[in-house]
Amino acid sequence: MKLPNRLRGCVQGLAVTVAIHGLGGVAAESANPTPATVPGYEFRPGSIDGTGKWFMGREIAHYMSHQGAMWLEREEREEEEQPNELIRLLDLKPGQSVADIGAGSGYFTWRMAHKVAPAGRVFANDLQPEMLTILRTNMGRHQATNVVAVQGSSTNVNLPAASLDLALLVDVYHECDHPKEIIASLCEALKDGGRLVLVEYRGEDRWIPIKPLHKMTADQVVREMSIHPLAQVSTNRLSRQHVLIFRRMDRAHGSKARL
Ligand SMILES: C[S@@+](CC[C@H](N)C(=O)[O-])C[C@H]1O[C@@H](n2cnc3c(N)ncnc32)[C@H](O)[C@@H]1O
């Protein structure tokens, strides 16, 4: 289903379709330095459709309304974004406990659920209860019985401590209105060595037809993650998106962001 340009703008102010091709992996296991102080938020004018709230030099985008949920389920997305390629890259194993943060309609949730079944489970987290209602219906359609829907807040994902093998955020981080608190709460929820996977449209590529606030450069993502107890593992490229993978440092060794 194609949305008219006008509606696309409203839906998320962006989230256009994406075709995922190769998965060119660049491995780079490195521990990020933790700065002595964590930057705060600034409030100043920015884009005409932006929030006016800034973090580490980036204006935070508005989040996508549940009224656009059908667009997340459009048929062309399969061809345009090749979600199965992304799932393959995650290398999920049966029995793992994983989370789809900002799960929306559950487009990735059921795919993850099938991979970790039967003993594993997926926490499907979203800010909007309406999204979780839609997601529950979609999990039924896809026979994904090992999904637990969890409503998060702007500052907390509300997931059990040290419980996750992996947390996935597809097209979500750039629109978190408290990004440092959300990632800090995710670091609490990840097991030592658990993976955090951020998928964002590439801000470096002007040709990608997504509004600038809804894209991020890899450098910006890495800079923002550097305040957390995370080590960068790899940067992969889909046709229009980055797939940035980090590992939660061991609690015995990693230091935490002071928020
Ligand atoms: C563009 S949609 C992407 C949905 C899904 N990841 C996908 O790719 O189909 C972004 C979703 O992130 C959610 N979201 C935004 N900020 C959030 C936060 N702080 N915590 C949880 N969910 C959030 C929104 O409610 C929305 O459902």
Q: Domain locations in the chain?
A: 18-38+97-248
Please state, in angstroms and rounded to a whole number, the distance separating the CA atoms of residues 20 and 124.
23
Distance in Å, CA 63 to ligand 1 centroid = 7
DSSP state of 155: S
> Which is higher by pLDDT, 178 or 22?
178
DSSP state of 159: -
pTM: 0.87
What Rg, from alpha-carbon coordinates, does the chain have?
A: 17
Would you place residue 253 in the very low, low, confident or very high pLDDT band (cuts 50, 70, 90)? confident
Give the CATH number of domain 18-38+97-248.
Answer: 3.40.50.150
125 lines ligand 1 (CB under 6 A): yes
Tokens of 253: 């060794």
As a whole-number percent, the residues of the chain with pLDDT over 70 amount to 84
171 lines ligand 1 (CB under 6 A): yes
179 lines ligand 1 (CB under 6 A): no
Strands ordered across the beta sheet of 58-59: 41-43, 53-55, 58-59
Ligand 1, atom nearest to 125 Cα: 21
Residue 128 near residue 134 (C-beta atoms within 8 A): no
109 lines ligand 1 (CB under 6 A): no
Burial 229-248 (b: 16+ CB within 10 A, else e): bbbbbbbbbbbbbbbbbbbb
123 lines ligand 1 (CB under 6 A): no
Would you place residue 182 in the very low, low, confident or very high pLDDT band (cuts 50, 70, 90)? very high
Please state, in angstroms and rounded to a whole number, the distance separating the CA atoms of residues 131 and 103.
8
